[in-house]
A = this chain, B = another copy of it.
């Protein structure tokens, strides 16, 4: 068998595995967006079965045979070519997956569905107790996964590597420590500042049907293609790609918390633009797929914060917004509105956090999940540890577990080692945006003129179209000229928020 033949067969195997895996993605999307409560038990069987089948394909011994034929051949001489990238990533995926026992894969899928159901119920009732054993079970399974996959220093490395290949716990910790110092001092400078007088305007009534129309218009203007995607209501905001031509966003609408829905929308549109910008010709192979969740998150955070809170963005959209929600906004000027949505103050809810405090929410989760994984923290002790961490980092305490440790569903879903990618995303986003402006000039005027394409094209060129070509850090380095580094985000936040502190 020639390397070319082996490569063709590998691409076929990869495509097949991806199509099957995309069925699981759809089933999981449905679970979040559509499934009636009564369907949960059966859904756990469906996801377990599909996850098992995907795993079977991922560990197909033919991968080993075929990879051996291609590896070291001239086909992969150019490390940045699609073939070389695909072989590198198929090898990495195969080596990881074949270490996972099938039983563990099925059990993790099943527990993710059932734990999520219990999380939902517990959150509704603000009652952590019945969720505790599911949380413990999720971390047991994550630990089993880490032990099966192997790691250099700590078990957490093995999980992190699945979401952000190439990055270690040690390196993330160093980066976060540096960031945290800057953030804590910035937060301190903001503390005690009164909220801008008209902050309550966002708690006025913004009818949901009009929010929907407005959001659809914004998503379209930013470049989201509704012929190749959907916008739905989910139990929490997310974006998933079912296949090329089918990228789905889910958000929640809050009639009296307009900003929460809006920024969730912008966030998920950022993810969706990345997925819609991947090279569909390479669908089903690593080259057609995003590799780093940190990089993915950089896209969502960039559109959410660096675009969606900018002067230009609102110079363009505010007149329409005010027309759509005349009752709520008739007495609110553009400047006031921007001041309100750019107000920073410590709070207890991550998804409502401003840009300045957001990463402290993540740092708390990063700390707690490492402790849970190592066994230093027990599942049952999470509520106390959570409250203690919030007091320590943010000086606030949740009133109950609903707005405390039950606010996020990630751990129930088995997304452990995932939270740091949010902050990596913020760090990367600031670097990318600064680099884009170095090349394109200040973008505010373009936004004000309704031009979001200039930025989108730059991101497409430097991020989206590369799929798995480079690691997250590698992409940042190529696109911005620097390795991942928190100085861009600290600069950006200081420039915008220290000013607010001075003005306040």
**A contact set with B: CB distance below 8 Å:** 16, 19-20, 22-23, 26-27, 30, 34-43, 45-46, 49-50, 53, 225-230, 242-246, 283
Bound together, the chains give a CA A76 to CA B30 distance in angstroms of: 39
Residue of B nearest to A226 (CB): B36
Max chain B Cβ within 10 angstroms of own Cβ: one of A16, A23, A242? A23
With A23-B27, A53-B53 known to touch, is A245 a contact of B40 (CB < 8 Å)? yes
Set of chain B residues within 8 Å of A36, measured between Cβ atoms: 226-230, 245-246
| A243 close to B26 (CB less than 8 A) | no
Residue of B nearest to A50 (CB): B23
| A19 close to B46 (CB less than 8 A) | yes
| A46 close to B26 (CB less than 8 A) | yes
Bound together, the chains give a CA A125 to CA B35 distance in angstroms of: 34
13 additional contacts (CB under 8 A) given A23-B46, A37-B245, A38-B227: A19-B42, A19-B45, A20-B50, A20-B53, A26-B30, A27-B27, A36-B226, A36-B228, A36-B246, A38-B244, A43-B243, A43-B246, A45-B243
With A42-B243, A42-B246, A43-B246 known to touch, is A49 a contact of B16 (CB < 8 Å)? yes
| A23 close to B49 (CB less than 8 A) | yes
| A229 close to B38 (CB less than 8 A) | yes
Residue of B nearest to A20 (CB): B49
| A39 close to B226 (CB less than 8 A) | no
| B49 close to A245 (CB less than 8 A) | no
Q: Nearest Cβ distance between residue A484 and chain B, in whole angstroms?
A: 33
Contact of A230 among B34, B40, B245 (CB under 8 A): B34
Bound together, the chains give a CA A252 to CA B19 distance in angstroms of: 30
With A36-B230, A229-B36 known to touch, is A245 a contact of B16 (CB < 8 Å)? no
Contact of A39 among B23, B50, B245 (CB under 8 A): B245
